[in-house]
């Protein structure tokens, strides 16, 4: 299987609303032209529109472990069934462990893929017991910066790989194709990137440049 690039759109101005759709189309174009795997993690408001307009996988950025019914303001697992899966437990949207457990179970029951973020190898080890589809290791202090975990602290990746039984994705501070190459060589199945793409002046060029490490 080819390594995957997951673009976390977060809720940057550059990756919400019409900008989200534009970025999604650029990602789809590059995925096709370069023959690489790209998936998108999109905010709840833009999900439907993007799913209708691109053919690459579209994930929710979060889902709540609640049932359909009297749950104002929540997003239930059933409501994201049309999409390709969900991120969970991102450093910017941390979940209590019991809530995470229940949410992963509900996703499994509905056959929704989960990519669960972990801040440390220890947390990744604990999450691995819940058997999500992927674990994304992202040290919070490196998120949004210019130094990747691959280069700054590769031992975080290797320690994570030792502690978990599910495929691992690397995230935080990824800005160069070398960051991606190292993450993959260390044994992770892909990368989770936000600002390197969403804040880029020319996202298409950056994606093509990243593609060199994703074939
Ligand atoms: O989920 C990906 C994210 O937290 C990493 O953000 O901006 O460091 O690529 P960034």
Write down the pLDDT at residue 151: 94
pLDDT at position 61 over 90: yes
pLDDT at position 28 over 90: yes
Average pLDDT, rounded, for the chain = 97
Q: What is the mean pLDDT of residues 150-170?
A: 97
Most ligand 1 atoms within 8 A of CB, residue of 194, 196, 207, 210 to mutate: 194
- The verdict on whether 138 is a catalytic residue reads yes
Report CA(41)–ligand 1 centroid distance (Å): 11
The two three-digit tokens of residue 180, written as one number: 């991606």
First to last CA, the chain: 10
pLDDT at position 1 over 90: no
Q: Tens digit of pLDDT for each residue in 64-122?
A: 999 999 999 999 999 999 999 999 999 999 999 999 999 999 999 999 999 999 999 99
Report CA(20)–ligand 1 centroid distance (Å): 16
Whole-number percent of the chain with pLDDT over 90: 100
Write down the pLDDT at residue 111: 96
Ligand 1 atom at minimal distance to the Cα of residue 198: 7
Distance CA 214, CA 161 (A): 20
In angstroms, the Cα distances linking 177 to 13, 23, 78, 91, 191 are 25, 19, 37, 24, 11
Residues with CB under 6 Å of ligand 1 are 8, 90, 138, 143-144, 171-174, 192-196
Report CA(84)–ligand 1 centroid distance (Å): 20
Q: Tens digit of pLDDT for each residue in 117-143?
A: 999 999 999 999 999 999 999 999 999
- The verdict on whether 67 is a catalytic residue reads no
3-state secondary structure of 153: coil
Out of 22, 90, 93, 155, the active site residue is: 90
Confidence of residue 153 (pLDDT cuts 50, 70, 90): very high
Q: What is the mean pLDDT of residues 52-63?
A: 98
Ligand 1 atom at minimal distance to the Cα of residue 193: 9
Are the CB atoms for 167 and 187 separated by under 8 Å?
no
Out of 37, 62, 123, 138, the active site residue is: 138
Distance CA 188, CA 170 (A): 7
């Amino acid at each position: 299987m080819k390594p995957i690039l997951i673009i976390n759109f977060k809720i940057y101005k550059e990756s919400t609303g019409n900008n989200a759709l534009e970025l999604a189309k650029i990602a789809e174009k590059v995925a096709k032209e370069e023959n690489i795997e790209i998936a998108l993690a999109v905010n709840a408001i833009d999900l439907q529109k993007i799913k209708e307009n691109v053919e690459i996988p579209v994930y929710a950025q979060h889902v709540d472990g609640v049932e359909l019914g009297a749950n104002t303001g929540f997003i239930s697992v059933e409501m994201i069934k049309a999409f390709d899966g969900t991120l969970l437990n991102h450093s910017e949207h941390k979940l209590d462990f019991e809530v995470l457990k229940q949410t992963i179970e509900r996703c499994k029951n509905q056959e929704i893929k989960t990519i669960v973020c972990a801040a440390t190898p220890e947390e990744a080890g604990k999450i691995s017991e819940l058997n999500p589809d992927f674990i994304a290791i992202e040290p919070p202090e490196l998120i949004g910066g210019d130094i990747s975990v691959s280069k700054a602290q590769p031992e975080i990746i290797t320690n994570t790989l030792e502690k978990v039984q599910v495929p691992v994705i690397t995230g935080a501070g990824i800005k160069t194709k070398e960051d991606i190459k190292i993450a993959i060589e260390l044994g992770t199945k892909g990368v989770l990137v936000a600002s390197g793409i969403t804040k880029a002046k020319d996202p298409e060029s950056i994606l093509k440049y990243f593609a060199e490490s994703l074939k």
